[in-house]
Each structure stands twice: as C-alpha cells, then as structure tokens.
C-alpha cells in the first residue's frame, strides 16, 4: 500500500443481502477513514430489511445499499478480500497475489425461521459476532 492511500477491503458473501452489507457498514463506521470498504455477492439479491433495521439501531444507515455482483470489481486492486460465508469462499474469484484473502464463516441470519422479533434477534446476534470479528481487523501478517 502506498503512503496516504486507504487500504481497500472487499467483503463477500453469497447474496450481498445480510452478512456482507452488515460487515461493510460496521467496518466503515468503526474504522473511520482507515479503509475504503465495499461489499458484493456471488449471487446478489435484495438486502434483507432485518439487516437494515439492526444496523439502524447502531446509527448505521444501509437503506441505500445496492447489492452488487463480485464481477463488478473484477480487475480492481484490493488489499483485503474478506469472505464471510463458505459459499463465497468456494466461489470467490482469484485476486492478484498482493491481495490478502481472509475467511470467517458466519451463519446466514436470513435462513432463520420465526417471528419478526425472533428473526431480528438472530440478525442482532450475527451483527454483534461480525462486529467483534472486525474489531481485530486487520489481523497480524
């Protein structure tokens, strides 16, 4: 990384609907201007309203998040690519050698059945797990 430039981080999950947009919002919020943070999916779909709601509880606005396909970032330089689900890790495109790819799988909160309050509780749990994980980012080499 050249001096004065923000490190670029791409966060990937399957749909870019819950885990990766929550991680993008959390890292952007908690790390300040240290990183340029983006997220995408390998099969993008609509952002889950529960993800928007549980980040709004922290003052983080995801309401304008547009799910993106990882191919939108083909050929771009990233310092880190974080995969937050096993499917994204298995289907993640190859990035240049200088890109550090890091994997940590989080349960997909969107697959959890139950009442709205039970689903929100699951999203909060995953949000908090992702936040705790990102607090140690970037890891030591």
- Tokens read off for 103: 């994997």
The active-site residue out of 18, 40, 54, 85 is 85
Q: How far apart are CA 86 and CA 19, in angstroms?
A: 12
Q: How many CB atoms lie within 10 A of CB 65?
A: 20
DSSP for 84-96, written as a single string: -SHHHHHHPPP--
The active-site residue out of 92, 100, 103, 105 is 92
Q: How far apart are CA 29 and CA 2, in angstroms?
A: 23
Nearest to 46 by CA among 24, 29, 63: 63
The active-site residue out of 9, 11, 12, 13 is 13
Active site residue 85: yes
Active site residue 45: no
Active site residue 13: yes
Residues annotated as catalytic are 13, 85, 92
């Amino acid at each position: 990384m050249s001096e004065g430039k923000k490190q670029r981080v791409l966060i990937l999950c399957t749909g870019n609907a819950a885990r990766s947009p929550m991680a993008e919002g959390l890292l952007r919020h908690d790390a300040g201007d240290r990183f340029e943070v983006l997220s995408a999916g390998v099969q993008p779909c609509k952002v889950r309203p529960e993800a928007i709601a549980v980040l709004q509880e922290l003052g983080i606005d995801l309401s304008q998040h547009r799910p993106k396909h990882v191919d939108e970032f083909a050929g771009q330089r990233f310092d880190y690519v974080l995969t937050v689900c096993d499917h994204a890790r298995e289907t993640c495109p190859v990035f240049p050698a200088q890109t550090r790819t890091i994997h940590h799988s989080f349960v997909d909160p969107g697959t959890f059945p139950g009442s709205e309050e039970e689903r929100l509780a699951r999203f909060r749990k995953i949000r908090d797990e992702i936040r705790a994980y990102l607090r140690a980012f970037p890891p030591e080499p």
